[in-house]
Structure 1
Amino acid sequence: MKDLHLPLNQTQRVRCEKALHELQVLTPTTVLAAAVTIADTIPVNHEDSILRGHWTSDQKGKLVSTLCGVVEWVDKLVHVRTLQARYSVEICDILVGRVIKVGPESWRLEINSKQDAVMRFSSTNFPDGIQRRRTAVDELNVRSIFEENDVVYAEVCAFQHDGSPELQPMGQKNGKLERGQLLTVSPYLVKRQNQHCYHLEQYGVYLILGRNGFIWVGEHAVVGETAKLMGTELENFTPLETRNHVCRLANAVHVLSALGFTLTAELIVETAEASLSSKVAVNDMVGGEFFVQTAEREKGAARRVHLVRKEIGSI
């Protein structure tokens, strides 16, 4: 709560603190222990066969933190999680990046990591979709595919000799994302999942959860023959209802990330639906009361899961 800068009154602050505290108690998979700095000793019982995880070190029989962060436990594995860190790239990660430089044979993208990523011209398709050999003229027209500030949906396929990640575009239109919002959250809130791109048909919206903490919420683009029949005027127009859906889902991401919840498509949609059922306006979702309601709702869901598991364990 001390990191949340929200316009909460005293009653709302007490409710939110209570809900977040009970969430930590009821969550069995990861138990929050304490905040530590570099060289702090982490209290453990070595007779319990503790497993040493990331950012911990064994110094003269004591488990010591090598990073400023929070101690977390997963069963017998203890590790330290930093609260503010750049994204650490891994092969096959699904990312959302922004083009910051256009070269003759590649594009350089900002991906919220220590190094920028590279996407080669040879890994993209031509805008017309025709398969043919690339020529020097094509290389001069790379801006017809991507230019500065374009947002791209891609996958990490390799690392170059200097350690910078190389990306492979995904999806249609070479992974180019348009008509939406690019949000930035802490990368640790987006876990590796079986699926990172979701078409939310009830909203007509695409939701992409980038492992690097870049999240895209935008209109579902119509491609192919249907787009040709619609005409250019309709293609460039986003309905007001769809814009409201994009803003509502984006605000749901903002609320959940501020509360420190792990982001999933299901949780984001549930939060947006809760705001609709409570008749909360889009701009009021970032107000203090909806933050408190979201924390209390997640506390109730965690309690139900905890009781179900307790009942199953007693059978």
Structure 2
Amino acid sequence: MREILQQLSLNQTQKIRLEAALQQLEESSKASSSSSSAIITVADTIPVNHEDGVLKGHGTSELDGEVVATLCGVLERVNKLVYVRALRARYKPEVGDIIVGRVLEIAPKRWRLEVNFSQDAVLMLSAMNMPDGIQRRRTAVDELNMRSIFEENDVVCAEVRGVHHDGSLQLQARSQKYGKLERGQLLTVPPYLVKRRKQHFHHLEQYGIDLILGCNGFIWVAEHVEMEENEMIEDQENKLEENSKTNKRSMTVEELERSYTPLETRRNICRIANAVRVLSMLGFIISVEVIIDTAEASSFLNIEIKDMLGAEFCVQIAEREAKRRNSLVKKKG
């Protein structure tokens, strides 16, 4: 509540409404989790049967013969293992995670990326899908042309290939769905708000945009680009040839028109991006369904895009979510 008050300038009425909505959300979360997992705080005693040979996991400790919690979170049990899953935690990479990052440096045979982790990630040239689309050994010419593929400050989508013993991330981008991202906005949210799902790439047809929910808390909202693999390979080959000539000539009118994003699409990008920002401010789990619902609510209430980050709309979204969760709890009950 204190974090929300710092970001929003609420009047007294809005503050009371927001407190009531958050209270309802807390009660509904307790009611829904009471049957499965218990929410505990620091120093709470965890009921266990010592005769079963309990294994004390993350967020637990033994004190005076009892197992106590050292973190605030949700108590989880897996066979004999007992641990606490923190409600708010930093990004913990797992192999196969879809992430979005920004290129910081081009080093020999690798790119170094900022991925909202304690260390920078590394994308090796050998783990990158080459523009010609052919699986082959990387040559010295490929290494010289690395800047024509990705350069500093480019936004890139990749997959976690592995985590080294020193904690550094190894990435790969061997599929056509990975690579450089353009014509959009990069948003940063707390990683714990983005849950791992089967699908992290979304095409919002009604808005004509693409949405990538990175497991590391980087979210990409951009104009939808529909391109077949063959067209993509040819286009990337042309880019490699054209990038070496960009300093010699200016862009033609046709090239400018091709790189132009329509005004309506830009408005949709901003509306979806502001919906993500509102959910992040309120601390709600971010999924494509909730994002679309928030964006549609702003359109239904005739809220201008620039006013979506205002206090009134944030309070209304909190009240809507409280009603939705209460109805779900009643249905289960």
Answer whether TM exceeds 0.5 for this pair: yes
Partner of 1:142: 146
Matched to 1:263, the amino acid is I
Pairing 1:256–2:279 present: yes
Partner of 1:278: 301
Partner of 2:248: none
How many angstroms apart in 2 are the aligned matches of 1:52 and 1:24? 28
How many angstroms apart in 1 are the aligned matches of 2:260 and 2:181? 15
CA gap of 1:174–1:299, structure 2 versus 1, over 3 A, is closer
CA gap of 1:66–1:306, structure 2 versus 1, over 3 A, is closer
Q: CA deviation at 1:61?
A: 2.8
Aligned with 2:90 (options 69, 86, 89): 86
Pairing 1:220–2:224 present: yes
TM-score if structure 2 supplies the norm length? 0.81
2:170 match: secondary structure? strand
Matched to 1:276, the amino acid is S
How many angstroms apart in 2 are the aligned matches of 1:262 and 1:276? 21
TM-score if structure 1 supplies the norm length? 0.86
How many angstroms apart in 2 are the aligned matches of 1:9 and 1:139? 58
Aligned with 2:103 (options 82, 95, 99): 99
Matched to 1:25, the amino acid is E
Pairing 1:269–2:292 present: yes
Gaps of 5+ in 1: 311-315
Q: Contact conserved, 1:56 with 1:80, CA < 8 A, in 2?
A: no
> Identity rate of aligned residues, in percent?
51
Partner of 1:313: none
2:126 match: secondary structure? helix
Partner of 2:116: 112
Q: Deviations over 1:213-250 (max 9, x none)?
A: 1111111124355998xx53332000111111111111
1:122 match: secondary structure? strand
1:3 match: secondary structure? helix
Partner of 1:2: 2
Partner of 2:259: 236
Matched to 1:79, the amino acid is V
Q: Deviations over 1:227-279 (max 9, x none)?
A: 98xx5333200011111111111111111111111111000010000000110
Q: Deviations over 1:17-53 (max 9, x none)?
A: 11111112112137785654xxxx1144457x99965
CA gap of 1:262–1:208, structure 2 versus 1, over 3 A, is same
Gaps of 5+ in 2: 236-253
RMSD between aligned residues: 2.8
Q: Deviations over 1:89-140 (max 9, x none)?
A: 1111111111111012010111111221111111223334455543211111
1:198 match: secondary structure? strand
Aligned pairs for 1:1-315 within 5 A: 1-4=1-4, 5=6, 6-27=8-29, 28-29=32-33, 33=39, 36=42, 41-46=43-48, 54-67=58-71, 70-73=72-75, 79=84, 81=86, 83=88, 85-129=89-133, 133-160=137-164, 162-169=166-173, 172=176, 174-224=178-228, 232-310=255-333
Matched to 1:138, the amino acid is D
